Structure 1
Amino acid sequence: MSWLVDTNVLSELTRRAPDRRVLDWVAAHADDLVTAAPVVAELLYGVARLPAGRRRDALSLAVVTLLEPFRGGRVLPFDEHAAVELAAVRVARERRGMPVGDVDLMIAATCRAHDVPLVTRNVQDFVGTGVQVVDPWQGP
């Protein structure tokens, strides 16, 4: 079974002292982890918007290193199937009065298109999307 890791999970891994529960969860599922193109975009944007300097350089290296295991097919695309899923998710959330940001919509749609659960701390952002969500900060 594959697990799609969200931006906040991958970001946690770049911290000086990552949460032990997240480290343990990721280690236990390392061979089954995938991510999504919008997650990669968020990570790269987060680095690019920092002012030039040592902090940005260090974070850039950390993100490149972090993403290395996902190369070669472990970054799921936002494709035509995901676009169809995005429309369904957006309508469902709007009808419930629960709008959601574009990137989270793309991530949810990618999960649905590839039938994979999402690993994130932001559980509430994905309520009503039809995506199974796991919060590694909650522990086993």
Structure 2
Amino acid sequence: MNWLVDTDILSERTKPHPDARVLTWLEAHADAIYTSSHVIGELQTGIALLSEGSRKRALQAWLNRLVEAMEDRILNFNTSVATVWGRQEAEFSRKGCPMPMPDSFIAATARRHDLIIATRNIADYTRPGLKAMNPAAGEP
């Protein structure tokens, strides 16, 4: 099984009191974890919004290391993902369950690469055709 890790799970290591279940899950699945360029963008936005200081510098250094370490496992929004996204948007609209843009990009990336989304925000990804799980809930 391979996973697309959402922002809230990927950033767990940066929290003052990280959830041990999430850290254990990240370690156990290290070789099967992917993320999307949109998640990297969300992380960068959060850092950029911080006031200048040591926390901002530390988080930027962490993100730079993360991007370098995951370079081959950061999935971009390319033409094949865009095609999945367009079809997905139409499907969800027809079914009356539209999705916010950032989440829909992450979902399309996961669908295109047949990945399970690892997130605390399960409700954000409760849509037909999507697979999601919450490592903080002790799921596999």
* Paired residues of 1:117 and 1:134 also in contact (CA < 8 A): yes
CA RMSD of aligned residues (A): 1.5
Aligned to 2:84: 85
Residues 1:62 and 2:62 aligned together: yes
User: Aligned residue for 2:52?
Assistant: 52
Q: Distance in 2 between matches of 1:66 and 1:17?
A: 19
CA distance in 2, matches of 1:68, 1:129: 34
1:7-26 correspondence to structure 2 within 5 Å: 7-26=7-26
Provide the C-alpha distance between the structure 1 equivalents of 2:90 and 2:18, rounded to a whole number of angstroms: 36
For the Cα contact (< 8 Å) 1:47–1:56, is it kept in 2?
yes
Matches of 1:130 and 1:16, distance apart in 2:
35
Gap runs ≥5 in structure 1 = none
Give, in angstroms, the shift of residue 129 of structure 1.
4.6
- Matched position secondary structure for 1:104: helix
Deviates more, 1:130-139 or 1:51-60: 51-60
Query: Aligned letter for 1:40?
Result: I
Describe the superposition over 1:91-135 as per-residue Cα deviations: whole angstroms up to 9, x where unpaired: 222233323211111100001111111111111111115121111
C-alpha distance after superposition, 1:8-65 (max 9, x if no partner): 1011121122101101111110111111111111111111121222221122122223
TM-score, with length taken from structure 1: 0.91
Which residue does the alignment assign to 2:34? 34
Distance in 2 separating the partners of 1:129 and 1:12: 27
In 1: Cα distance, 2:23 partner to 2:12 partner: 9
Does 1:74 find its partner at 2:73?
yes
Q: Percent of aligned positions with the same letter in both sequences? A: 40
Greater mean deviation of Cα atoms: 34-43 or 50-59: 50-59
**Using a 3 Å threshold, how does the CA distance of structure 1 residues 90 and 50 change in structure 2: closer, same or farther?**
same
Q: What is the count of residue pairs matched by the alignment?
A: 139
